[in-house]
Every structure is written in C-alpha cells, then in structure tokens.
Structure 1
Amino acid sequence: MRAGVIGTLLVMLLSATMTLALTGCNFKDIDRRIFVVAIGIDPGRKEGTFKVSLKLAIPQGDVTKIDEKMQILTEESDSISEALRRMKSKVEKELDYVHCKSVILGEGLAADDIRHVTDWAVRRRDIQLILNFAVGRPGALEVLQVKPPSERIPSNSLILAMSGQGTESPFISSVYSYQLMRSIYENGIDPILPVIEAQKKDQFLIDKIALLDKRKIKLVLSPDETRLFNLLSRSNLRTNFPAHIGGGMYQYYTESSSSSYQIVTPADEDSYLRYTIKIRAILEENSTAEIVTHHMLKEIGEAGAAELEHAVTALLVKIQGSGMDPLGWGLHYGARHWNNDTEMRVWESLYPRLDFRVNAKVDVKYSGMIK
C-alpha cells in the first residue's frame, strides 16, 4: 500500500516536471512583450481584404510614470490572421493579446458583413470571450487613435466606458463577443452593437446602438431611442425622462426601473405584445416657479408615464418595421410554444402583425432637496 502511494507521488512529480519543461520553452518575460489592448478592423483598399489595426500598450517598468507609451500598427491582408502574423515583423517584442478588451469594427465593414470577424475572434485561443465589440465611426482606426486627456493607460477609456466599470451612461450597451456570436446564430434574436464616434483626436461619443440582421447594420437608433432600448433591455437604468404639465417641463430621475413583456395570442382576437414598465423616481428639475406638492408629484408621474408609453410604443413599432428582433421576442415565443418544426415559422408570420400595448407606471416619490 505504501509502495503504491510512493509510486503515485513519483508519477505526479514527474508529470509536473515535464509540464514545466514544456511550458517554459515558450515563456517570455514581460520586458519582451508588447500588450495589445484593442483591435480595429476596417475594409481594405482592395475588395475582399481587411485593414487590421492594433493598439499597443508598451510596459515602462515604472509604476510612478503618469503616462504609458502606446503604438498603433496597421496592416492589410486578405485574412485577419495573416495581417497579425505580418505585424509581428514590425516590432521587436512578442505581441500579447491576453489584455485585449475591445474589438472595433469599422462602419464600412459592419455595413457589409461582420460574421467573418466574429468567427475569428471567438476561435482565437488567446483572446477572451468577454471582450467588447463595437462599431467605429467613421472607421475603426480613427477610434483607436483617439486619446482623451484623462486616459493614462492606452485604450483604458474605451474599456471603462464599454464595460460599465467607469461611466454608467444610459446610452451605452456592452456587447461581449460570446453574446454577439449567440445573437448571430440563435433563432429568435438579432445582434446589436454600440456605435463609437471619433469626434476629435481627444474625444469620442457613444450614444447610439446599431441593429443588425445577423450580418450587417440595418438600422441605427437615435440617442433617445437608444436610451429607451436600454430601459427595456436591462433593469435599474440610471437616467432621466421628461414630464410636461401645461406649459411647465419637469425632469425625473429613475432611482429604479424594471420592464417585462408578455406575448398574448388569444384565439378570438389579434395577438399583441404587452410591455409593463415600472419606475421609481425622484424629481430632479422643475422649469416652473410652482411649489411641488405631493399631489403635484402624482400628476408629474402620470404625465411622465403617458409620455413614456407613447415614446416606447413608437420605438417598438420602428423596430418591428425593420424586421429585426434585437430584444429576443422570437426566442421568448419559441420557449413557450415548443414545436421545433413549426415554432419559428409561426413566429415569423405572427411578428409583422403584432400590436404593442405599453403600460408604464412612474412613481415620483421625492421632490428633491431644496435648501
């Protein structure tokens, strides 16, 4: 028994030694690596080619330095993999992708077909499935070249904005590579991508969402429509909405929010999709000189709910008119009307005829703090 235990320990020790020997041959110290933090992909000058750009963070070795150095490499090829291999000849250190957090698709590429790039990103063994995808306007390279004054680590501003670890904007949606891949190949849901606009050399803007039909952009939502889309797609959206009473304008802040929907298919009447939106709010702005009473808070909530119902209904009708399903209604329908042979065909015939009924409840609890 004791001999067997000793033998097992020897085998484990030998296996560990061999593993160290195998992995050590490819190991390179940090001072021999350059970290790729963002990848941009645009259409090449020749048809069928890609212009691949890498944003590199160069380690300095001194944590007291205020700014890290960065470098952008660009290469054109008929394949993404070939472009990356060629770029290795432009630097003296090994390109490391373990810290890559963003893939920016140029608007020209996203208007044609994104499936090639998505397939490459999820297959690549050293790129994580939690990197963020986005559309770059006018192109991916222009977005990578933006360097805000507040950015100390290359591309960190994009990472913080897109992941939600920094700003909590109601206009930004995070789309990870595994989510994008699922939306492309899953029946009953279509992909979305945030749009990043390079406005200046030191400023970008993220306040729109692009809707895609599995392969390319079909519709770009306005900032107000993007905010409403995010209200429907995630809970506790931190934002503000207007309420108009008479000639006065009020703005209420959403302290908490939730939305749910139900696809109703009665036998004796038309099918419809019923949305229920609940918001607990705080009054944030008052354009009138009137004292806000408890009764006035109730009126503001009712007026805000009516305006919200109208705006959401208009958005849903617009999405329906595009023929796309970014909120996954078809997936929801298929999960509750199980029949693998017919469920999607039934949904495809039902979707264009759906009516939308939106019920919003805005409860303004607090009039704000006035001293």
Structure 2
Amino acid sequence: MNKLIIIIFIFLLTGCAEQRIIDDLALINAVGYDLTDNESNPLKLTVTFPIITKDGKYDRKTIIVEGKSSKEAREKVRFKTNLKLESGQARVSLFGQELSKKGMLPYLHSLVRDASIGTRLKLALAEDEASDVIMLQIKNEGQNATYLEQFLTKLNRENFRTNYNIYQFLRDYYDDGIDPILPVFKVEKNNIAYNGIGLFHEDKLVEILKPSEARYLFLFREEMQKGVFVEQIDVGEEGKASIMLNYELKSHHIEVPVTRKKAAIYIELIGDVVEYTGKEDVSDPKIQKKIENIITKKINQEGKKLIIKLQKLQVDPLGINRYVRNKMTYNQWKALDQYQAYQDMDINLKANVILNSSGKWK
C-alpha cells in the first residue's frame, strides 16, 4: 500500500513540473541592438530563432521591435509570437555602429542579468545596422547565428586566444589598463563579410580599423600567440610580392621605465612561409634573411603608424597602461589623467621576424 502511495505521489509531482516541449519554445540564437530616430522608443531590438514549418521543414523567424529599453523591447517581442522565449541558446549578440558609439554597457548588463545566457555569448559589431546582418538570408548557410558564431570561432582560431565574448569584453572594460576590441561585420551583396576591428574607449566605439590595419594590432597584442599574416612587400628589383605567414609569437614584452614617459614593445615572431609570389627562391638562406629583414622593417613601420593612431584616438587595446599602472601606487594611478599620459608617451616598436621554413610558394 505504501509503495502505491509513493508511486501516485511521484506521478503527481511529475504533473506539477514545468513541461518544456521544444515545439512550444522560441530558442533565440541571435540578438541585434540598434538605435532608432524615435525619441520615445530609441532602441530597435532584433531577435531570430529557428522554427519548424507546418510541412515539417526547418526555417527561422525574425522579430523586430522598438522600445525605451532592452527590457521593454523584449516584452514587446513576447507579444509577437505564440512561443515561449528562451535565451539560453543565444549564440551571438550583434550591435549596430551608431548604438555602439553611444555606449554598449547598458545592453551588456541586460544580457548579463539574464541567468540563462552564459558568459560565452559571442559579441560583434555591424558596420551599419545589426538588423541588416541578422535579417540577411544567406543561401545554403541556414541560421545566420550559426554562421556568425562559426565566423567568430574562425577569427579566434586564426588569432589564437582572442575570445570575442561578453566575458572578454567586460573583463577588458573593467580593467582600467586596457580597452576592449570587437570584430566588425558588414552585408556585402548576399553575404556577411568580416570588415575589421572596432576600437573602444571604455564602452564606446571610436574607430573601426580596416583589416589591413587590424593585422598589425594582432601582432602586438600580448595574448595573440598564433596568427596568419598576409602582406605586400617590396623586394627591390623584383618589385612587389605577396607573402603569407603562419606565425607563432616566440616572445613579447613591454618595458615602461620609472619615468613613464615612454614605452617599448618587443616581439619576436617565428613564421612559416605559406605562400610567396616573388620570383626568388625562399628556400635559399640568403633570400630568407633578406625577406626576414624586409618583413621586420615593414612591421615596425606599419606598427608605429598604428600606435600613433591609437594614441590620437586615446584607445589602448594593447594594454600599455597596465604596465604604467604597475610603476605607480594606487593613489598615484587614480590621480593620473591616464589617457592623456598615454597619448603623450613615446611608444616604440621593436619587432624581429625569423622564417622557420620556406613552406609553399608560387
């Protein structure tokens, strides 16, 4: 008799538990934030989630609403679908350029407060509006969220240990010795294309580096242990040639003297030549040495241009101020106009490139 009562009790408990049938859920996999021209509802929120059509095929549904805040906009999304919204499967959060210039922190806090969203949620910028990127229907690519997540994973793989997620962004934001960065995507014909790196002063976007500039930023960031470097180099009488290297960062250190008026960034790269379009034989040690010197000079020149640009913008994605901070007491650091001091510093780059093997060449 007691066993029967226990069994009945278990069944009653099961009936009381919340039932989550997958067909009744809107599993949001991408969210986009943009500004509107409407002062009453300044935020445009775009969400997309997979659905199953009546004939059993997979599709997606995209909902766009406007609201005063992300919380209000999310409530409006709820009224536009008969499915229960679930954010736990969100893969990517995309931010429009104009909104990013105003500041991203309120929207990031909203995402962090949602306990179902993990810190691995990937972040990215749209060159124009986030809604344009999310709504684009890419042929044979399925869900845009999956496509963007795979794209971001590829960028992470090509520039090792660069995690473009909400945890990384907030970690760099709250560290007063470095500024965050995020990748930028744009709609290009009927495709989504990577188009550079967004530079932030605190939580506000101030500049987008072109891919050709961003490659030098990656070279001088301490956490970029591996990467791919592609560049046109001048090889003298032979004219110009394209070279592609798979590189590893052998050493990286930043020196800031006690005076804190200058800094020096030292890096040593070991690279394998994946492709070379010049006529010279890169397996020849003399030619290798010549190309090493050419690439080293190129990196130092272009890197210096980038550093000057970063200082003028008062953005510190390389974390120079971390080293300045280490030379000061807490009270000295808090009293310092950090960005002005950073802008006034004489920052020098000293790169050295070693070709490990000749790889393949054309």
Interval containing the TM-score (normalised by the shorter chain):
0.7 to 0.9
Q: Is 1:83 equivalent to 2:83 in the alignment?
A: no
For 1:164-179, what aligned pairs fall within 5 Å after superposition? 164=154, 168-169=157-158, 174-179=163-168
Does the aligned pair in 2 maintain the 1:207–1:226 contact within 8 Å?
no
Between stretches 211-220 and 237-246, larger displacement belongs to 237-246
Deviations 1:161-209 (A, max 9, x none): 1133x88556996421122223333312222221111123x30111311
- Match among 37, 42, 51 for residue 44 of structure 2: 51
Report the alpha carbon displacement of residue 76 of structure 1 after superposing the two structures with TM.
Answer: 0.9
TM-score for both structures, normalised by structure 2: 0.85
How many Å apart are 1:366 and its aligned residue? Answer: 2.6
Cα distance, 1:256 vs structure 2:
2.3
Q: Which whole-Å CA distance do the structure 2 matches of 1:172 and 1:137 have between them? A: 24
Q: Which runs of 5+ in 1 are unaligned?
A: 1-12
Asked whether the equivalents of residues 271 and 354 of structure 2 are also in contact (C-alpha less than 8 Å), the reply is yes
Amino acid at match of 2:347: F
User: Match for residue 198 of structure 2?
Assistant: 210
Displacement of 1:299: 0.8
SS across alignment from 2:103: coil
CA distance 1:283–1:105, shift in 2 (3 Å)? closer
Cα 1:259–1:111 change in 2 (3 A) is farther
Amino acid paired to 1:188: G
Q: Structure 2 vs 1, CA of residues 325 and 291 (structure 1 numbering), >3 Å: closer, same or farther?
A: closer
Which residue is 1:262 aligned to? 254
1:21-170 matches, cutoff 5 A: 21=13, 25-47=17-39, 49-59=42-52, 68-164=58-154, 168-169=157-158
The corresponding residue for 1:5 is none
For residues 352-367 of structure 1, the aligned pairs below 5 Å read 352-367=343-358
Q: Distance in 1 between matches of 2:161 and 2:267?
A: 22
Deviations 1:214-269 (A, max 9, x none): 232212112111111122221111232343221333414124235523232156x9
Which of the residues 201, 211, 214 maps onto 1:226? 214
Determine helix, strand or coil for the equivalent of 2:116: coil
Q: Secondary structure at the match of 1:99?
A: coil
Distance 1:106 1:23, change over 3 A: farther
Equivalent residues of 1:38, 1:55 under 8 A apart: yes
Structure 2 counterparts to residues 247-286 of structure 1, below 5 A: 247-248=237-238, 249-250=240-241, 251-258=243-250, 260-265=252-257, 271-282=262-273, 284-286=275-277
Distance 2:170 2:247 in 1: 33
Structure 1 residues 369 and 158, CA gap change in structure 2 (3 angstroms):
closer
C-alpha spacing 1:78/1:347, structure 2 compared with 1 (3 Å): closer
1:184 aligns with 2:173: yes
CA distance in 2, matches of 1:291, 1:273: 31
Q: Deviations over 1:53-83 (max 9, x none)?
A: 1011125799xx9x73101001111121122
User: Contact 1:137 / 1:143 at 8 angstroms: preserved in 2?
Assistant: no
Q: 2:316 aligns with which of 303, 306, 325?
A: 325
| Compared CA separation, residues 252 and 192, structure 1 to 2 (3 A) | closer
**Native 8 Å contact 2:258 2:327 kept in 1:** no
Change (3 A) 1:347 1:283: farther
> Cα 1:359–1:272, aligned 2, differ >3 Å: closer, same or farther?
same
Q: Structure 1 residues 107, 265: CA separation in 2 closer, same or farther (over 3 Å shift)?
A: same
Gap change, CA 1:298 and 1:53, over 3 Å in 2: same
The more displaced of 48-57 and 359-368 is 359-368
Identity across matched positions, percent: 20
Shift of 1:352: 2.5
Structure 2 residue runs of 5 or longer lacking an equivalent are 1-5
Residue 314 of structure 1 pairs with residue 305 of structure 2 = yes
